[in-house]
Structure 1
């Protein structure tokens, strides 16, 4: 931290916490780094965004429809005419003007060139459990925590009653399995090695808080990892200099989708809007906060 500060990095929001202080504040006796953070419920946010868009469309006379349980099987370019793509689904075909690939770990299914691990997106399995502790939720710190490297991360759920025991959401332990879960796209399978590691983790950090191990739920999900660790944002290129007409992508968040997806989506939305209006969306029009190296456009790489 001292070296970072000497290099000019603003460290005012980062605090070094010694073990004696950590046990009082966070419940574990280990040296740690503390920063401010926030949490979000993605489904609730997405639902409210959809409801707001639906209301706007009703006022403007436009039409908005959401199709769930409708997997896309292919996206084919259409040359000429009003529509640019043919999107095939299990419920019929759609001819949109624009397509945004927000498929993250599954991006290579519709864009096979992204199956290349060198410059594509690798599906990676993550696994989580909801584990009930023996300490009252009211006594449990409300902070979210993670280990160095982020291989384990956990946070408490808000209690429903005053006498409820703490319910902790814990994920990680990918380091315990071959290739750290990379190249796994099936989210219906629980990895037993990871399951055992997760069950053993919290009792070692909070020995008095998990005298019993009561796992109430367990699930997996598929993330999208890139070689650089950065997302892929912008027009879809099958090869340098050859974009797919009116197709865009925002994917490959490498396990950090919540702090990245919303801002990346804003940039892609601006690009789509610019193309719809016939305006070139040049790099200088991008928000200053958008890292240029995340973009797919050739002149910014």
Structure 2
């Protein structure tokens, strides 16, 4: 059994990670570290785990676990690793943005591989440390990777994407309060979202001459979870050409699927899937991309990366069902 440790156990991504781990046939949850909840039962914070898990949050860390998942706020993973040394055999999977960019990929002699399986499965399989992609970044990159691989991103890219309230984290804020969020819709961080950097680096890795600007408008939706991204750019080929390109690129992908019918969030929420749909209007190609921000956009993808590192089927522990109604 693969022994798992989780640091930062009270948030949404940690809660999803714990739920996946307790149902994964090849892993054992060794500890969930939390300074604010040490000594409390995990189900007292993640109450859907009542009757499933009797483990308590720990104030101690086992530095010899096989895998360490870091579910900390951005900037805190580096601080934690500076203060805590782990075995050279411990694989680290970080769910923050601390190690996603090339400039941050080497830390304390550890090299972090960007963990987007559809882009670099072979590198992940050989990796010791993973920088898990951002949620918006995952949805947007999966919409663009086939075009970058073919060298066909030759215009500016426009993205309008909406995320659920869980994308803002578990700590309450003015824009996550129910009375504000319900029946409401808003834009935030227009043209300046922190995920743009990792998106650009992934596209450049596939298309060396990529230099076009990505105009990204993120939105807050009045729902709990999921990301719906609409991405469009110039494309000279036909719609059939586009579908052939995407079908070939994702033919071996176990979680990313190309649909000839329009896609919607209920198809993917509570799963590790990404569904893509293509439309052509004059010289523009529109790609719609839908994911669950907490699963394919965070904890599910982290488990997928762990499975790849340990030679397990990518679907192990991730055979999840969407709630259609």
TM-score with structure 2 setting the length: 0.27
Q: When you count strand as a share of all residues, which structure comes out higher? A: 1
Structure of larger gyration radius:
1
Structure with greater contact order relative to length (CA < 8 Å, sep ≥ 6): 2
TM-score with structure 1 setting the length: 0.29
